[in-house]
Amino acid sequence: MAEYSISELNKVKRGPKRANYDIDTINSILDDSFLCHVGYVYKGQAIVIPTAYARKGDVIYIHGSLKNRMMLSLLDAGVASVSVTHLDGLVLARSAFHHSANYRSVSIFGSVRKIDDSDEKMEALAYILNHMVPGHWDNVRHPNTKEFNATLVLEIKINTASAKIRAEGVNDEQEDHDLPIWAGVVPIKQVAYDAISDTNLPLDVKVPEAVKLYVSKNKSI
């Protein structure tokens, strides 16, 4: 298994037994979501912003307006830190101290590049939309010249990364096991419901197959 080398930058220090540096595992966590949080510094102030992303190989794409302060700050810095987290369960212990959560998280550290080539830029925008709903790019109007020119697309090359994963039950103190207090795990999953069509749609416009497939794969049972 290929792994990212452990450095001072990506080393998981708190709870190192839950650390994972396997590239396939990290990519899997990235591919299971389309929302990341990006850290940057603007005029000396640290800021974290959620934004959509897509992964292609060892890079992720993000986009925003030409005047977006996050995008411009990342370009100025030349490097980026990005995190993705999935909440998989609430771990409810007998004691308040041992309450926790099951999760899968990734921290990425990479170099930033502005995508100027028109074909590459359009492909990146398609990746971002299709990462949200696979195949949906083929169902929508593509950006016109004005929209395209007003959009800044950045590539963040994943130079190194680490994952941290908790997937276990309650870890109470042994002496608390006989207490008459319930303990256990409440699993959590993000689910999709049936698509709600816009009220202004022409009567003959139906929900695209890509959207219906996304709903069926992510629907609550």
Domain coordinates in residue numbering, the chain: 16-188, 191-221
Residue 8, pLDDT score: 92
Q: Is 91 exposed, middle or buried (0-12, 13-18, 19+ CB in 10 A)?
A: buried
- By CB atoms closer than 10 A (0-12, 13-18, 19+), residue 149 is exposed
99-115 pLDDT tens trace? 999 999 999 999 999 99
Q: What is the pTM of this model?
A: 0.90
Task: Return all residues near 188 (Cβ < 8 A) that are at least 6 apart.
Answer: 87, 88, 89, 90
Residue 89: strand pairing partners: 102, 187
Q: What CATH class is the domain 16-188?
A: mainly beta
pLDDT at 94: 96
Q: Which pLDDT score is estimated for 15?
A: 82
Q: What is the rounded CA–CA span in Å between residue 183 and residue 123?
A: 48
Could you report the average pLDDT of every consecutive run of 10 residues in the chain (221 residues)? Answer: 90 90 96 96 94 97 96 96 97 96 97 97 97 96 96 98 96 93 96 94 94 92 61
Q: Express each pLDDT in 21-59 by its tens digit.
A: 999 999 999 999 999 999 999 999 999 999 999 999 999
DSSP state letters, 126-162: HHHHHHHSTTGGGGSPPP-HHHHHTEEEEEEEEEEEE
Q: Which residue has the tokens 């930033």?
A: 112
Task: Write out the two tokens for 10.
Answer: 């990506």
Measured distance CA(109)–CA(10) in Å, rounded: 8
